Amino acid sequence: MGFSEKQREIFRFPYTHYEALICDGAVRSGKTSVMSLSFLLWAMGRFDRCAFAICGKSVGSVERNIITPQLGVRYLQDNFSIRYNRGGHVLIVRRGVRENRFYLFGGKDESSYALIQGVTLAGVLLDEVALMPQSFVEQALARCSVDGAKFWFNCNPENPMHWFRQEWILQPDKHNALHLHFMMTDNPSLSEETRQRYERTYSGVFYQRYVLGKWVAAEGVIYSMFSETENTYRPDQRPKAMAWLSERTIAVDYGTANPARFLDIYDDGETVRVDREYDWDSRKEHAQKTDREYADDLLAFMGPQPCAVIVDPSAASFIAELGRRGVYVVKADNDVPDGIRKTAGLIGRRTIQICETCARLIDEMGTYVWDEKASQRGEEKPVKQNDHSADALRYYVNSLPDWRFE
């Protein structure tokens, strides 16, 4: 099908005077695939016996978004010898006597900068750079000390006060950077059907960012795409074989002074069904429960068929109590922005379905809102009220593999 004009600019970038390339904009706009191919071709054409870094939010995301697709590119297969060492997280590329190594790094949190210390690089590609802490990005750039090194960035939009937009996108001349803004129409391989599906999936701030490619602040109802007609089911509409064809998990948002919620979740690999809900609000009941009492309630809620239980990792004493009773506990990934982003995508696709009996979770779909004061400071977080069932659902969604959100 060929490349769009904007994608061709990515291929031309290495041979310009620019030292950095920034590609931001809508999802599925062809940024990552073309950038990673151009990065590899530039590195192999310009350097020999050098090290490069390919960075993402996690090593797994780099393997999925960059390494696996590039291993399938016919031109690379025909012209290069490519070997990926999964244990060492390094891609070794050879052509004739020339060989370079591409090391994979994950930049998930503030501690990640230490992972990339000590290596000398001839270039770095930072995929989903807006999801990485500034300390990690700056450390990666500082390692690029080989003559002729270049920086490659791509991302989807976040809050307009985000450090990367403020420092790089709004000041490209300061960094001698080429900035290219992408829309879905810049990807000639994207079908009209797929584009329309993404337009239907998102609404509110997620539509503005992921479909229109705009850097906008989060405000209003978080799950504005939730529909009581399209995201819920009656008990009599429950699939008859749901218990047999689905993996069951209980997600827990633990509270002592705050309400405690358990969600009974069935997942068939396509649809996540929240079938039951447990609630104990100590303020309303004028009685706080102990860890032992909550564990008793959870085992009664679980019934005779055991299953995994996902719990907020801060509930250490409750997790210990469940462990003493032989319950298989998974500590939840409490990444709030990423969990909200993933949950919103599944709700928009209608692959999260909630039984009408889960009244509190359904109510929170309409009252779970962004903290606008935090947004003005460049932070993305919800108002911490009316969020207990929504948090439990987010814990579960964060446990799912990344391919579920593609």
Per-residue model confidence (pLDDT) at position 323:
96
Per-residue model confidence (pLDDT) at position 375:
84
Three-state DSSP state, 232: strand
Q: Which CATH class is domain 5-195?
A: alpha beta
pTM of the model: 0.85
Provide the sign of the torsion angle of the four alpha carbons 118, 162, 215, 196, taken in this order: positive
Per-residue pLDDT, averaged over 210-214, amounts to: 94
When the pLDDT of each residue in the chain is averaged and rounded to a whole number, the result is 94
Note the pLDDT tens digit of each residue in 95-150.
999 999 999 999 877 666 677 888 899 999 999 999 999 999 999 999 999 999 99
Note the pLDDT tens digit of each residue in 224-246.
999 999 999 999 999 999 999 99
Give me the residue spans of the domains in the chain: 5-195, 232-405
Task: Give the architecture-level CATH label for domain 232-405.
Answer: 2-Layer Sandwich (3.30)
Is residue 66 within 8 Å of residue 56, measured between CB atoms? yes
Note the pLDDT tens digit of each residue in 82-107.
999 999 999 999 999 999 999 999 98
Structure tokens at 318: 């409750």
For 341, the enclosing helix (H) or strand (E) is: helix 336-348
Note the pLDDT tens digit of each residue in 299-325.
999 999 999 999 998 999 999 999 999
- The C-alpha atoms of residue 261 and residue 310 are separated, in whole angstroms, by 12
Structure tokens at 67: 């390494």
Query: Does residue 406 carry a pLDDT above 80?
Result: no
Q: Could you tell me which of 18, 389, 46 has the C-alpha nearest to residue 173?
A: 18
Per-residue model confidence (pLDDT) at position 110:
66
